Amino acid sequence: MSEYDYIVVGAGSAGCVLAARLSEDPTVRVALIESGGPDRGTEIRIPAAFPKLFKTAYDWDFTTAEQPALGGRELFWPRGHTLGGSSSVNAMMWVRGHRDDYDAWARAAGAEWGHEAFVPYFRRAEHWTGPTGHGTVYGTEGPLFVSPPRAPSDLTGHFLDACQDDGLPLLPELNAPDHSGVAMTPVNQRRGRRWSAADGYLKPAARRPNLDVLTGTRVTALAFDGTRAVGVRTTGAGPATLTARREVLLSAGAVGSPHLLMRSGIGDPEDLGRAGIEVLAASPDVGRNLQDHLSYAVTLHCPRPVTLTGADTPANIARYLLARRGPLTSNLAEAVAFVRSDPALAAPDLELIFAPAPFIEHGLTAPTEHGLTIGVVLLQPGSSGRITLDPDGGDRGPGIRIDPGYLTDPADLPRLIAGVRRAETLFASGALAPHTSGPMAPYPGPVDDDRLAESIREAAQTLYHPVGTCRMGEDDAAVTDPRLRVRGVDGLRVVDASVMPRITRGHTHAPTVALAEKAAELIRQDARA
């Protein structure tokens, strides 16, 4: 087939939702196009193995532009390059965010994006399997399994105790409207196995005769008849051109979606002109408003061999493969606390992620020493960056320049420092101090603010949550309107994290799935109009 009603570009968290929901109507034909391959890797299934997926065929393996505020470093940006997208390579954390996040969306794009209106789309996606939930905060009938950690470390319990001793409430439900406090991390797992968007949405839908899933097929440009999107041009395994009778839906993520728009003539006219691309629709904000969560790891040695270091023993591997139990069911980030750098703030602006293991340099090198980590995450950065065209891009991501603009807002670094000080307080508590024995590089230990700022600039990394580059809004400058339609053209929408006008106080998989659930409803409504 080369002609469809809907073409979905990208089989990540949003694309899997769209393909599944739109193909529920047997009268329409849907194509889902994924440039990566099938999600067959063993490491995809084993939760604790997710760092082994980085810099493999399952990863786009992006690199940012040099970041002046981070010592001129170019940062590694992993993004999923397989069915399920980043939901197949992430740490499986299901964190909706704070109600204020969605009320900020409502101020940008209308009341239908506010918290109360948006929560039902989370519940539509969720299948909670833990001892709590009861259909009140979590959904219980959706396609995405959400579970508590299956075999959490005893050390994680000590972290919870430390937080409570420091005045943080232990939350019965992390995904309540206000997540101020500490809780075990809800994860996308089913009986100890990763449960990605491909597992929950795509694989049941792929059996339908009206859905075609094309892997190993890269979209190089959008096809237009005048200013109406009528299909896509591709290279790889699929047909060279696919036609869309109704709509083309970009779900290529905060990097891929603006890149395709610009490659197709939708963007800043000056930038397009420099790249030799004819302007189809002037939209200067395409690629702008790039936001991400910057993280710094506070890591201490552990004096006893009780962490997840070396957990991949033959016995633990056998235990996992036979019963899906044991330490390999861990997502490493077993508990989280949401805190404020300033008590006067209305909502948390920092996240503290506890791992009963050293997590340094994305886990790309397996640790040989035992240690504990509290990752300090800046949830509401004032800094922002931009995706632009780069004629000299590499072969895995041609034509893309990623500049997150980390720490360009002077208020961001002091807030990160405040978060590190909170982590140090927790490590010094009676609950955690007996399990630590000194700093593990690159964390320098308790030092003055100037030396700590230097360390943050030398070692901070992405938490893998880019958003905002095709932001939605009611204003004319927004790339997409509140129904996610691309301004200036017809027959084209963007449905992924790039449309978020503001980054959430949490992790971006859950809001992206809920956003796609809402988008599928909007698309069906418009088809009936």
Q: Which residues belong to the active site? A: 465
Q: Strands of 380-506 (E only): list them.
A: 386-390, 399-403, 461-462, 492-494
Asked if residues 385 and 295 have their Cβ atoms less than 8 Å apart, the reply is: no
Cis peptide before 442 (omega within 30 of 0): yes
Determine the Cα–Cα distance for residues 156 and 463; give it in Å rounded to an integer.
20
What is the SS3 string spanning 47-73?
Answer: HHHHHHHCCCCCECCEECCCEHHHCCE
Q: Count Cβ atoms below 10 Å from residue 474 Cβ, excluding itself.
A: 11
The angle formed by the CA atoms of residues 60, 231 and 264, to the nearest 5 degrees, is: 60
Encode burial over 72-104: b for 16+ CB neighbours within 10 A, e otherwise.
ebebbbbbbbbbbbbbbbbbbbbbbbbbbbbbb
Residue corresponding to tokens 């493969």: 321
Comparing C-alpha atoms, which of 151, 174, 158, 81 is closest to residue 331? 151
For 181-210, give one letter per residue: b (16+ CB within 10 A) or e. bbbbbbbbbbebbbbbbbbbbbbebbeeeb
Pairing between β-strand 76-77 and β-strand 228-236 as defined by DSSP bridges: unpaired
